Structure 1
């Protein structure tokens, strides 16, 4: 009787669980779905609030306005360059530093960890950081976007924990008995065994750099170096200013049309800037889950 009762209670629990999780999933997905259907619906339907569950009409005018702009393609090129450099520099530094900090024979390891963790709570601020970047001669260069944010203290801690829980000391000792040097051990044994954490760090750096706009806004003056996010922001601001222009004899119908396309461009901007980075997740998902779980549960 107890087994039957327990089986019924499990079924009720599963039903409630699936119901609650389904509701949460719909709450999360609906805004994303609304953005997609709004970007391809008629502007009048979007502005009047008629777009709720299905597209109203069909137009790609918002995407045409964006993709016909040469600045957008230049922004894509610059952002792709920044992402590649950020992933290469960031992952190289985080993996090497994380492995060094995981070694028990590193002199001053606790002091270095304290200094790294300290930066998570206190920083110099924007003005000292700007002055440092300026003194290094990186203002208005691509390195001003890549170098200052290349290494994260959180990434270092996760990477160090991964090495501590994955690379046993006995493996190093046996390699040293065979005459293997530390450098060869790192590149021949540690790096091949660290594929999950390398993929996770690459994903973290790529996402952060793709969505980043503030360093470029602060350190770059040359518009030819602007990343995609700044280009899209400029287009959105320009469309808003055009729709708010009231000087001279302005055709009311033109103002209404500009206001309508402003909303359409806004939704198209979100899709254009989000789709490329979202396309990476299916390929790195298994590494992402495995690496994060290893770095968090066993740490």
Structure 2
């Protein structure tokens, strides 16, 4: 029988803890897996970024070059005529103003309603919380439909009223469930016990302790609500008759239809120029409507990732 002889003060290799800072030698299989993962990530990034880049270069390129496939990575026949036509239209500016108002006011109301409601439904001492949550969830699967909604909004005086963009969608049940899950799983109950000992009631506990610890989920829900209001097209199409109250998405649709109408009614040599402007306007309005969201998202990205992982996965 043999035994390992150890030098005093030293341990065997099996007893030495693994050090994550020590770089392990990669095998051929490790290199193959790494290359595959990197290639997959590159393909996903290209698949996401290239369509946006193509819209950008197509909006400033010659329409014939776009139609014949000559525009791939760089613009051909650079021209800003489409953007000039878009921004010369007063409907763009009124649509932008309306959309900003609807999005900001609507998101503020959404947060004021959703966060307190989710906090209340997360408290175990609130006995009817399961019944209330069931009533909320029921609306996700069963709705009245377009005609009953129209009749309801008409009786409430919301037809052709800017409040139709804000009040009917004051709360999203899905966002409510996400926020409730966050409060249940991420806010320790010990904090409430400590706050109660210090004499804080529910309102003090909510405003002084819960809200400061909920910046991640607040940012996520605010982004969800803001994007929903910004991209809202159906509400203006059905419930608004006054063009001055239409949001940006509906105004862009009106501009596109107007340019298509001008294209069909134009004769002679001007049809080529009109067709070029119509296609540039088509790509231009895509950027005009999405650019603010693309600019906003990077500032909320870190909260977005953290909030989704905490509020959705654990719930």
TM range (shorter): over 0.9
- Please state if 1:181 is matched with 2:201: yes
The alignment partner of 1:252 has SS state of coil
Q: How far off is 1:45 after superposition? A: 2.0
Q: How far off is 1:4 after superposition? A: 8.8
2:117 match: 97
**Separation in structure 2 between the aligned mates of residue 17 and residue 116 of structure 1, nearest angstrom:** 42
**Separation in structure 2 between the aligned mates of residue 200 and residue 27 of structure 1, nearest angstrom:** 25
| Matching of residues 115-154 of structure 1 within 5 Å | 115-154=135-174
Q: How far off is 1:160 after superposition? A: 0.2
- Please state if 1:234 is matched with 2:250: no
Match of 1:106 among 98, 106, 126: 126
**Separation in structure 2 between the aligned mates of residue 25 and residue 173 of structure 1, nearest angstrom:** 47
**Separation in structure 2 between the aligned mates of residue 41 and residue 277 of structure 1, nearest angstrom:** 24
**Separation in structure 1 between the aligned mates of residue 112 and residue 120 of structure 2, nearest angstrom:** 12
Task: Note the residue ranges of structure 1 that are not aligned, 5 or more in a row.
Answer: none
* 1:246-275 CA-partner distances (Å, limit 9, x unpaired): xxxx53212222122111100001011110
Verify the 8 A CA contact 1:47 1:260 in the aligned structure 2.
no
Verify the 8 A CA contact 1:158 1:296 in the aligned structure 2.
yes
**Separation in structure 2 between the aligned mates of residue 168 and residue 4 of structure 1, nearest angstrom:** 39
Q: How far off is 1:203 after superposition? A: 0.5
**Separation in structure 2 between the aligned mates of residue 188 and residue 49 of structure 1, nearest angstrom:** 59
Q: How far off is 1:46 after superposition? A: 2.4
Q: 1:231 to 1:4 in 2, by over 3 A?
A: closer
Verify the 8 A CA contact 1:86 1:209 in the aligned structure 2.
yes
TM-score, with structure 1 as normaliser: 0.94
**Separation in structure 1 between the aligned mates of residue 219 and residue 43 of structure 2, nearest angstrom:** 31
Query: Once structures 1 and 2 are overlaid, which stretch shifts more, 131-140 or 193-202?
Result: 131-140
Verify the 8 A CA contact 1:87 1:206 in the aligned structure 2.
yes
Aligned pair count reads: 293
2:18 match: none
**Separation in structure 2 between the aligned mates of residue 97 and residue 289 of structure 1, nearest angstrom:** 23
Verify the 8 A CA contact 1:199 1:288 in the aligned structure 2.
yes
Query: Once structures 1 and 2 are overlaid, which stretch shifts more, 230-239 or 28-37?
Result: 28-37
**Separation in structure 2 between the aligned mates of residue 184 and residue 135 of structure 1, nearest angstrom:** 39
Query: Once structures 1 and 2 are overlaid, which stretch shifts more, 212-221 or 19-28?
Result: 19-28
**Separation in structure 2 between the aligned mates of residue 273 and residue 295 of structure 1, nearest angstrom:** 29
**Runs (4+) off by over 6 Å:** 3-6
**Separation in structure 2 between the aligned mates of residue 181 and residue 116 of structure 1, nearest angstrom:** 26
**Separation in structure 2 between the aligned mates of residue 77 and residue 4 of structure 1, nearest angstrom:** 58
Q: 1:298 to 1:53 in 2, by over 3 A?
A: same
Greater share of residues in helix: 1
**Separation in structure 2 between the aligned mates of residue 93 and residue 80 of structure 1, nearest angstrom:** 20
Verify the 8 A CA contact 1:145 1:219 in the aligned structure 2.
no
1:276 match: 292
| CA RMSD across the alignment | 1.6
Q: 1:174 to 1:34 in 2, by over 3 A?
A: same
The alignment partner of 2:27 has SS state of helix
**Separation in structure 2 between the aligned mates of residue 146 and residue 291 of structure 1, nearest angstrom:** 24
2:270 match: 254
- Please state if 1:161 is matched with 2:177: no
- Please state if 1:32 is matched with 2:86: no
**Separation in structure 2 between the aligned mates of residue 211 and residue 189 of structure 1, nearest angstrom:** 34
TM-score, with structure 2 as normaliser: 0.89
Q: How far off is 1:156 after superposition? A: 0.4
Verify the 8 A CA contact 1:47 1:263 in the aligned structure 2.
no
